[in-house]
Amino acid sequence: MSVIVLIEHTGGTIKKKNFEAVHYATQIAKQTGTTVTALVLGAVAAAEMESLGQYGAQKVLHVADSRLDELHARAYAGALIAAAQNEGSKIIVTLHDIGGRMVAPRVAVKLGAGLVAGALSYPDTEKGFVIKKAVFSGKAFAYVNILSDVKVIMLMPNTFPATKIEGRAAIEQLDVSFGEGDFGVKVKAVNKVTGEVALADAELVVSGGRGMKGPENWGILEELAKELGAATACSRPVADSHWRPHHEHVGQTGGTVRPNLYIAVGISGAIQHLAGVNGSKIIVVINKDPEAPFFKAANYGVVGDAMEILPRLTAAVRKFKQ
Ligand code: FAD
């Protein structure tokens, strides 16, 4: 009857957001008087899997089929259903990220389960099983009561901490039989982003918009990011104009980030952009137009020309670090 959590990994490395999901599931397990089982698919070292115990998983179910090294939505959904049935789980947790979005709805449909996407709270079990989620691109919240017996929760990354506890998970192998159709999608190439802070996991993000004028000006933005140890991001028109790669595009149609600090440079603050960044803890806006809508969502604002402000900010950070 444990709460089951789908763990994603990249080449055997489990990223922080999964530890957040395990921590989240641990709190739900406490609320519902059960335990947490993590499901790991494909090749991951035993020590890496055991480390899930430090975030509250008592058990890891491991499906060691090498075809699962890469994300195959149907196969992942099949494995998650098999694991849930193996454990008698009624509560299934995934992340609200690309992997979760591909897998969780399939699982919910197959199990006839209610699903909450983009969960921002623990379930309120006194009112039923009510979970808060953002709607209308973060302009409002909905409180969704899952009435079905089996419940699927897609947790928004960077919402809860990945708090460590004493613990080591016991690993059990799980055999799952897959059909050929489960691997119908062939991955032709994987474009690895190296040498930068990964955007999805970044605590600090420096992001540029059309106000940066062109790709030739990105050096000063990257210098600030480097000095801060931050990831770089951009608005959609910037990615559409090929000034920056598409994986940096944040917003309604791009990635969602929830860093501790989001510095927006030359970005107007359209609702579609805010949808991907308004969960950031602190937002700093640099814009030459004092009427730019982004200032309404900002904790701190600097009115001025990015070309002047960015080098000064970088120099100040450098000085502060000395
Ligand atoms: P602009 O709106 O052109 O703003 C540029 C800003 O830079 C201005 O505020 C200007 O004052 C400022 N500026 C100019 N020069 C300087 C300077 N020298 N120094 C400082 N500031 C300066 N957008 C996204 O970002 N992400 C999405 O996911 C997304 N999805 C969308 C989905 C749909 C269905 C639609 C219709 C739109 C979507 N958009 C998205 C586009 C969105 O509506 C905006 O058009 C876009 O966010 C604007 O990008 P921007 O702020 O970089 O550019």
CA distance 83 to 125: 24
Phi, psi of 117 (to 5 degrees): -95, 145
> Does 241 sit in the ligand 1 pocket, CB within 6 Å?
no
Which residue among 136, 250, 253, 305 has the greatest number of ligand 1 atoms within 8 angstroms of its CB, and so is best to mutate? 253
- pTM (whole model) above 0.80: no
Q: According to the model, what pLDDT value does residue 321 have? A: 87
Q: What is the pLDDT of residues 84-102, one digit of tens each?
A: 999 999 999 999 988 999 9
Residue 156 makes CB contacts below 8 A (sequence gap 6+) with: 96, 118, 119, 120, 133, 134, 256, 258, 279
d(CA 135, CA 293): 20
Residue 297 · residue 283 · CB < 8 Å: yes
229 and 206 Cβ atoms separated by less than 8 Å: no
Ligand 1 proximity of 254 Cβ (cutoff 6 Å) = yes
**Dmax (CA) of the chain:** 60
Q: What is d(CA 54, CA 26) in angstroms, rounded to the nearest whole number?
A: 11
What pLDDT band is residue 160 in, cutting at 50, 70 and 90?
Answer: confident
With 0-12 / 13-18 / 19 or more C-beta atoms within 10 angstroms meaning exposed / middle / buried, residue 320 is exposed
C-alpha 226 to ligand 1 mean position (Å): 23
Residue 195: pLDDT above 60? no
The residues with which 14 forms a beta bridge, in sequence order, are 9
- 233-284 confidence digits (pLDDT tens): 999 999 999 999 999 999 988 888 888 999 999 999 999 999 999 889 999 9
- From 287, 294, 296, give the residue whose CB has the most ligand 1 atoms within 8 Å, as the site to mutate: 287
Residue type, 186: K
* Residue ID of nearest Cα to ligand 1 atom 52: 209
Cβ of residue 240 lying under 6 Å from some atom of ligand 1: no
Annotated binding-site members: 210, 235-236, 266-273, 287
For residue 194, how many other CB atoms are within 10 A of its CB?
Answer: 5
Please work out whether the CB of residue 288 comes within 6 Å of at least one atom of ligand 1. Answer: yes
pLDDT in tens, 117-141: 999 999 999 999 999 998 887 778 9
Residues tagged in the binding site annotation for FAD: 210, 235-236, 266-273, 287
Query: What is the enclosing helix (H) or strand (E) of 236?
Result: helix 236-240
C-alpha pair distances (Å), 255 with each of 199, 246, 258: 9, 10, 10
